[in-house]
Amino acid sequence: MTSRQLWRGVDRPLLWTLIALVVIGLAALYSASYQRALATDTSFIGKQVVWLMFGLSVALLLMTVDYHRWLEGAYLLYGLNLLLLVLVLVIGQTRGGAQRWLAFGPVTFQPSELAKISTVLVLARYLAEHREGPRGWRSLGVPLLLVGLPMALILKEPNLGTASLFLPMAAAMLFVWGIPSRIFGILFAAFLILSPLGWQLLQDYQRSRLLVFVNPNLDPLGAGYTVLQSRIAVGSGLLWGRGWFAGTQNQLNFLPERHTDFIFSVIGEETGFLGAAGLLLLYAFLLHRSFRIAAESRDPFGSLLVTGLTTMIGCHVLINVAMTLGVAPVVGLPLPFISYGGSWLLSCLAAMGIIFSVGMRRPGFG
Amino acid sequence: MRLAWLERVFFFALIALIAALAAMQLVWGPGFRRAAERNRVRLIPMPAVRGSILDRNGAPLAEDRLSFSVAVVPQEVRDPDQVLEKLAAEIGRSPEQLKRTFRKGVGAPFAPVVVARDVDRKAAFMLEEGRNDLPGVIVLPAPQRSYALGKASGAVLGYLGLVTSRELQSLQSYGYTVKDWVGKGGIEQLYDAALRGTDGGVQVEVDHRGRLIRQLGLKIPVRGKDIRVTLDAGLQQVCYSALQGRRGAVAVMSLASGDLLAAVSSPGFDPAAFVDPDREDEVSGALTDENRPLFNRVVAAAVPPGSVFKIVTAYAGFVAGKPPADVVYDCPGFFRMGQATFRCWYAPGHGPQDLIQALTHSCNVFFWNWGLAAGPETIASTARLFGYGSLSAVDLPGEAAGFIPDPKWKRARFHEAWFKGETANLAIGQGYLLVTPLQVLRMAAGVATGGKIPQPHLLKAIARQGVGIPPVGTTALNPQALRKIRAGMEAAIASESGTGRLAATPGLSIAGKTGTAQAGKGLSHAWFCGYAPVEQPAWAVVVFVEHGGKGGEVAAAMAGEIFRALRSSELLK
């Protein structure tokens, strides 16, 4: 297969969707950080564009190289990532009570974001290699260990949101891998029963977030403030929105965290129902095209890989939007391609690079 | 295919989110939009200055004068106690009180808390100039209503208070809102619509910390209109002093125009106390005082008139021709009617009295005879002719109509015949009869003007625009009867034996009639009504002292003081 043929196999609709999301993300971020830029003369946009370029290069690299090469290096990458996660706990930067960042000079980086991808890689490889064997309880041991290790390290930071995301990712991959419905059902039921026990393991701030989720008026100026203001922002957008740069909740600083986790509130406020629902439809289309690539992949490696990564992106969208609307607790998961944050954008673009890479190498394409 | 199931899960979850989005933005959206507006828009009210109330010469009776309040902005003060102590020393107030007011008043960190009102002008300027000494302390100009005559004009001017929910029901359509101050009682209430200006305000946009971002709108407050009234500040003060704080009322009316030159109800209250939060005790005192200072006795006190009513009885008998006009009754000091014996106020008896003498001496025996001859219906209808039993329509709120009894009323009310003794009581202004001081004043005016009773009123001009003199109510009165009555009233003052001789004023000829009305327990009500000068009547005067004693002693003496003031005043010219 020539390289020209290979590139012809790029999923065009998926590419345009991705470009649209990135552009929307920059526009929303521009508005969300405008007041801050005026006040402090530092713009988030510049930094984000740099990360965007870097992320796109990484994506291109991932697309050029056959994904099987990455699967070969999966354990090495996974091991390195675990090491980074340990390193975070030892020498990481602490912000807002959580130790999540590694600093390289002026650049800070969250290894936990990358861990999502390396874990998907290693899990895809393991499951693909063991597709012939029996799929009983015993076969679950190694996959759970592979997922559990990074999860435990991330929980320790603490970063409950990111850590809990490993569960649906692993579940989706195991599901597609072909784990018997009976075992899947039992695991799901066990999760539901045991999750109240998890309450005991939570930090105080995490508990208060969950309590406030149940009733935001519990503490309207403290923990519930963000959710209330976010709901006001989204709701006040009505059908058409208040216009770009015209959202009062955004521009007058009533919305905290609006350039990162709550950027969807800005979109909801300034572009209204049409803009916000349109964005969700765009994500739906992105998921649809990605799942199609998973279905049409020429081998189980690609299929599992794309399933894991698509689930990661999809879950972020669902949880992030649900928490901005106040229908899910505030767990601090960013919105893919749109929320500010270098490591996160890089992870998203890398994931897309791998998805494209699998798509380009489908049989009948290129 | 399990991948298809996975995709379906995501698909339905996204649909659910879009549904939630639609509910929030399209169904509940307007509510959230309002919440967003409440977040960002603040209204800083700019109260309008209330119009002044001026006396007939333009002297202010009530005016909003510029006062200075000192306020502290909580977020700009690190150690409030220390700042307040320094501040207290500068403006000469007690530090404890400032601290207490501050603690009570703290709301939002950016909202200034007023800790001291009506600060001395000099101290306010010092604070304003040396602002750096006390960061976070600001001086705010605030209109403070002041009343030049204080207690002397309380009842007639009224006072200001927060609008009640009941008042608001009728006032809402005129643009009044909760927390508005409105006039209560007197001129302040009656002409509130003119006096109150239009409040203004600045609408500002604020950020999440309440910091001002920009001005959205400005409505400049419009000052209320000035009201000029007919009162003479000097005379009002004289009349109030004359009452010496006793319960009662005095009114002086110009006969040419119906201008009320003085309208005093005593004991008074200082309306300024109602707009000063530091004088709450004084307000609650005024509200609970058993002397009822808020009650405007000039128009609202309905009481028996006693002998001043003999003017009505005299006129009634004269016009009816029963008894003959030149009849003479002998007064032995008592009067027998059936089994009962009534005593004249002068126990030795007045001897033979004609109508003029009887008015001069206020002889009860004469008027019992005279009244019984005239009959109760004639007396009652004459009383109505002089304006008793009906409102004078003066521009003061709370006016009482009083009451005139007659046989018809008694039958309807008690299913009883009218007794002769009741006629005797009516003839000397006792019994069921109730009148207001203003009605007695109108009667005196009617006698003085020969029936051209001017309409008593207080309003002279609104915003320098004169309102003119209200039309005179002309009543055709019998000139011969009036001549006799006037002669009796003149002699009552001028004669050595006249009951009103204490009102006599050198250089001013006066006609008057005293009254001593028995009313329940305690002393009698003391009355005086009259007019002057006799040759060309210019003013009518009424003095009423509740349970004050004898009219000839108490009320006539007070009237004398008032006439002396009138004589020496500019009003004569």
Whole-number pLDDT of residue A252: 80
CA distance B26 to chain A (A): 5
- Tell me phi and psi for residue B386, to 5 degrees: -85, 5
Whole-number pLDDT of residue A276: 95
Show which of residues 280-339 on chain A sit within 8 Å of chain B, judged by CB atoms.
280-281, 283-284, 287-288, 291, 294-295, 303, 307, 311, 314, 317-318, 321-322, 325, 327
Whole-number pLDDT of residue A216: 59
Higher per-residue pLDDT: B535 or B135:
B535
Higher per-residue pLDDT: B571 or B497:
B497
Query: Which neighbouring-strand residues pair with B253?
Result: B260, B540
**Does residue B486 sit in helix, strand or coil?**
helix
**HSE (CB half, 13 Å, CA atoms) of B415?**
0
pLDDT tens for A157-201 read 878 888 889 999 999 999 998 888 888 889 889 888 887 777 666
Using an 8 Å CB-CB cutoff, list chain A residues near B18: 277, 280-281
Contact B208 A234 (CB under 8 A): no
Interface test with A, best of B10, B38, B41 (most A CBs within 10 A): B10
Whole-number pLDDT of residue B37: 85
Using an 8 Å CB-CB cutoff, list chain A residues near B7: 287-288, 291
Whole-number pLDDT of residue B103: 84
CA distance B104 to chain A (A): 22
Using an 8 Å CB-CB cutoff, list chain B residues near A188: none
- How buried is B491 (Cβ within 10 angstroms: 0-12 exposed, 13-18 middle, 19+ buried)? buried
**Does residue A203 sit in helix, strand or coil?**
coil
Contact B21 A238 (CB under 8 A): no
- pTM, rounded to two decimals: 0.66
Judge whether residue B59 has pLDDT over 80. Answer: yes
A231, A252, A287 ranked by CB distance to B32: nearest: A231
**Does residue B108 sit in helix, strand or coil?**
coil
pLDDT tens for B97-119 read 888 888 887 776 667 788 888 88
Q: How many CB atoms are closer than 10 A to CB B191?
A: 22
Q: How many CB atoms are closer than 10 A to CB B287?
A: 12
Using an 8 Å CB-CB cutoff, list chain A residues near B24: 231, 234-235, 325
Rounded mean pLDDT of A286-292?
95
Show which of residues 176-235 on chain B sit within 8 Å of chain A, judged by CB atoms.
205-209, 213
Contact B36 A314 (CB under 8 A): no
Q: Please state, in angstroms and rounded to a whole number, the distance separating the CA atoms of residues B209 and B384.
A: 70
Higher per-residue pLDDT: A330 or B487:
B487
Contact A172 B6 (CB under 8 A): yes
Using an 8 Å CB-CB cutoff, list chain A residues near B20: 322, 325, 327
Contact B29 A237 (CB under 8 A): yes
Whole-number pLDDT of residue B79: 82
- Among residues of chain A, what percentage have pLDDT more than 70? 92
Using an 8 Å CB-CB cutoff, list chain B residues near A178: 2
DSSP notation for A27-81: HHHHHHTHHHHHHHS--HHHHHHHHHHHHHHHHHHHHHS-HHHHHHTHHHHHHHH
CA distance B200 to chain A (A): 25
Contact B10 A284 (CB under 8 A): yes
- Among residues of chain B, what percentage have pLDDT more than 90? 49
Contact A178 B2 (CB under 8 A): yes
Question: Is residue B432 within a helix (H) or strand (E), and if so which, with residue range?
Answer: none
Beta carbons of B306 and B441 less than 8 angstroms apart: no
B10, B13, B24 ranked by CB distance to A234: nearest: B24
CA distance B33 to chain A (A): 4
Whole-number pLDDT of residue A312: 95
User: Which of the residue ranges A5-19, A334-348, B101-115 would you say has the lowest mean pLDDT?
Assistant: B101-115
CA distance B19 to chain A (A): 9
Interface test with B, best of A169, A226, A248, A290 (most B CBs within 10 A): A248
CA distance B115 to chain A (A): 28
Q: Please state, in angstroms and rounded to a whole number, the distance separating the CA atoms of residues A97 and B538.
A: 91
Q: What amino acid occupies position B444? A: A
Please tell me which residue of chain B has the smallest CA distance to A254: B208
Whole-number pLDDT of residue B573: 45
Higher per-residue pLDDT: A17 or B97:
A17
Beta carbons of A209 and A223 less than 8 angstroms apart: yes
Please tell me which residue of chain A has the smallest CA distance to B12: A284
Domains and CATH numbers, chain B: 233-284+291-572 (3.40.710.10)
Q: Strands B200-206 and B113-119, how do they pair? A: unpaired
Please tell me which residue of chain B has the smallest CA distance to A241: B25
CA distance B216 to chain A (A): 13
Contact B21 A268 (CB under 8 A): yes
Q: How many CB pairs under 8 A join A and B?
A: 123
Q: Which two tokens stand for residue B465?
A: 């625009």
pLDDT tens for B229-273 read 999 999 999 999 999 989 999 999 999 999 999 999 988 899 999
- Among residues of chain B, what percentage have pLDDT more than 70? 98
Average pLDDT over chain B reads: 88
Helices (H), B115-268: 121-129, 154-157, 165-171, 186-190, 192-195, 233-243
Show which of residues 222-261 on chain A sit within 8 Å of chain B, judged by CB atoms.
229, 231-239, 248-249, 252-254
Using an 8 Å CB-CB cutoff, list chain B residues near A229: 39
User: Which of the residue ranges A5-19, A220-234, A301-315, B179-193 would you say has the lowest mean pLDDT?
Assistant: A220-234
Contact B14 A280 (CB under 8 A): yes
Interface test with A, best of B1, B5, B7 (most A CBs within 10 A): B7
pLDDT tens for B458-469 read 999 998 888 888
Q: Please state, in angstroms and rounded to a whole number, the distance separating the CA atoms of residues B454 and B257.
A: 6
Higher per-residue pLDDT: B128 or B13:
B13
Q: Which two tokens stand for residue A203?
A: 């930090």
Backbone angle region of B349, left / alpha / beta, with phi > 0 → left and psi within -120 to 50 → alpha: left
**B27 touches A: beta carbon within 8 Å:** no
Contact A311 B32 (CB under 8 A): no
Judge whether residue A307 has pLDDT over 90. Answer: yes
Higher per-residue pLDDT: A1 or B266:
B266
CA distance B18 to chain A (A): 6
Q: Which residue has the tokens 């204080």?
A: B150
Q: Please state, in angstroms and rounded to a whole number, the distance separating the CA atoms of residues B31 and A120.
A: 44
